[in-house]
Structure 1
Amino acid sequence: MMRETNHKPVSILLVEDDDIDAMSVQRALHKMQLSNPVIRAIDGIEALEILRQGKIEQPFIVLLDLNLPRMSGLELLSVIRDDKTLKNSIIFVLTTSKREEEIAQAYQHNVAGYIVKSSVNQDFDPVLAFLENYWRLVEIPH
């Protein structure tokens, strides 16, 4: 994630069915003056379509909620990791679930991190600040 510079910004695929959380993430990006392109999918099926059809610009990260309609986040993770063209996608789980079995399952699917939303009206500034620092320090393939 990057502020307005000559570097190519990392695109974000936000897989989130909750409108309030999605707006909060957008608001935090704007507040932090981050210029990352954001594409939102409201469930795993829509996210998979976006990824498979190349509708998100490289490089990208996925912010994935687990509690989704039609196809859950864990189901999506499984499909992505079994897809030879998508299996190396960088995915952070961003969810309300603190269930140990879900955390373990997410890491078994090689997520980059598991972030628990603290409340419905979460302040996403710390989450996006963390992600911005991650992308400034970590080399990612384009």
Structure 2
Amino acid sequence: MVIPQPPMIDRHGEPVDILLVEDNPGDVRLTREAFKQGQINNTVHVTTDGVEAIDFLCQRNEHADAPRPDIILLDINLPKMNGDEVLETIRGDSKLKNLPVIVLTSSSAEEDIIKSYELQANAYLTKPVDPVEFIETIRSFQQFWLSVVVLPPYDEQ
């Protein structure tokens, strides 16, 4: 018999804020669906290009009131500013550099994997083509990164 677990919350008693940086509406829908099915209380914020992601993280323009995410899911293949450039910007900013960034992309190219880790991605996940496998990948991410891993505290330097 499986005993349902209460929704997980972060160390402050609030839902976990996730920034999903993804330009494919189908992948956004599948990701939201997977999180909805999980047992972790979270809020998924979506930006659809690299420039918008940086605006969200820096609370600029239409994202002036954006919350600081606890974790970022980042696609590599983005318009305006690609995922590598976003990751490089995050790691170069003293207020953002400790944010966990998980690359979630369709690329399984070795050079993309190496580049992401060189830019200090915390993990690299390849999106399965099959929707059921995609949802399972997100659920596995959710179970590990939001239930097991201790996320870093927000440093307001």
Q: What TM-score do you get using the length of structure 2 for normalisation?
A: 0.80
Please tell me whether residue 48 in structure 1 is matched to residue 54 in structure 2.
yes
Alignment partner, residue 119 of structure 2: 109
Quick one: which amino acid aligns to residue 29 of structure 1? F
1:11 alignment partner, SS class: strand
Q: 1:135 to 1:29 in 2, by over 3 A?
A: closer
Q: How many residues align?
A: 140
Q: One-letter code of the match for 1:4?
A: P
Amino acid across the alignment from 1:84: S
Q: Which amino acid aligns with 1:88?
A: N
For 2:105 and 2:39, the matched residues in 1 are separated by: 24
Instruction: Give the 5 Å matches for 1:1-142.
Output: 4-5=7-8, 7-53=13-59, 55-58=66-69, 60-119=70-129, 121=131, 123-142=134-153
Alpha-carbon distance in 2 for matches of 1:34, 1:64: 20
Question: CA separation in 2, counterparts of 1:116 and 1:123?
Answer: 9
Given that 1:21 and 1:120 are in contact with CA atoms closer than 8 Å, whether structure 2 keeps it comes out as no
Q: Deviations over 1:66-100 (max 9, x none)?
A: 00011000011111111111111100000001111
- Aligned-pair identity in percent equals 35
Unaligned runs of 5+ in 1: none
Q: Which has the higher contact order (CA 8 A, sep 6+)?
A: 1
Secondary structure in 2 matching 1:118: coil
Root mean square deviation, CA, Å: 2.1
Q: List runs of 5+ in structure 2 lacking aligned partners.
A: 60-64
